[in-house]
């Protein structure tokens, strides 16, 4: 695991080829995904901040939820529930998030953007003021986006990308 500070109160955590992120406000921090192999992702995040750490899952593929069991509750789009609980056999209570929902971390607002296609309930987290998008798999600077297997829908994926393009003025 390698931790890099991206900008103020924002870190990237690299875990075996998969990245997850920590966004901190004055009242709480939000860990975006929980890594591929890092079971102690919560502890790693807590070592960086002095506020409670909460988890949001961009989608429930196994390479994004390794450390999720450390959280009793977490945020997730309801369309990911089957994959999370049945396919991945995970536990914990999810708090539903929907397209357009906002979470206030204490002086830092993030917005949920539903991005179906890679999975049915895939989401991105937009750091509103920084104009930074944290998306799990659907949008990457480098790398492949796997569109084979269950829950993949190329038409929905293309629509999601078109929607993001239409909001490009909100994303740096």
The token duo for 20 is 């997850």
Per-residue pLDDT, averaged over 84-100, amounts to 90
In tens, the pLDDT along 94-112 reads 999 999 999 999 999 999 9
Q: Judging by DSSP bridges, how do beta strands 29-32 and 10-15 pair with one another?
A: unpaired
Residue 37 has pLDDT above 90, yes or no: no
In tens, the pLDDT along 102-157 reads 999 999 999 999 999 999 999 999 999 999 999 988 787 776 777 677 778 899 99
User: Contact 1/14 with Cβ under 8 angstroms?
Assistant: yes
The per-residue pLDDT of the chain, averaged, comes to 91
In tens, the pLDDT along 54-80 reads 999 999 988 889 899 999 999 999 999
Delineate the domains of the chain, giving CATH numbers in brackets.
2-170 (3.60.15.10)
């Amino acid at each position: 695991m390698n931790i890099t500070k991206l900008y103020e109160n924002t870190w990237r955590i690299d875990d075996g080829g998969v990245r997850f992120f920590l966004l901190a406000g004055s009242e709480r921090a939000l860990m975006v995904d929980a890594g591929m192999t890092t079971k102690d992702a919560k502890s790693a995040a807590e070592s960086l901040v002095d506020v409670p750490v909460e988890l949001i899952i961009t989608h429930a593929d196994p390479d994004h939820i390794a450390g999720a069991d450390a959280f009793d509750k977490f945020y997730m789009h309801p369309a990911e529930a089957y994959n999370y609980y049945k396919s991945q056999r995970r536990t914990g209570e999810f708090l539903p998030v929907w397209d357009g929902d906002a979470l206030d971390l204490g002086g830092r607002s993030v917005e949920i953007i539903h991005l179906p296609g890679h999975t049915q309930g895939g989401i991105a987290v937009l750091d509103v003021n920084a104009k930074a998008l944290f998306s799990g798999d659907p949008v990457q600077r480098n790398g492949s986006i796997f569109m084979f297997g269950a829950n993949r829908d190329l038409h929905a994926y293309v629509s999601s990308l078109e929607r993001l393009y239409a909001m490009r003025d909100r994303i740096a």
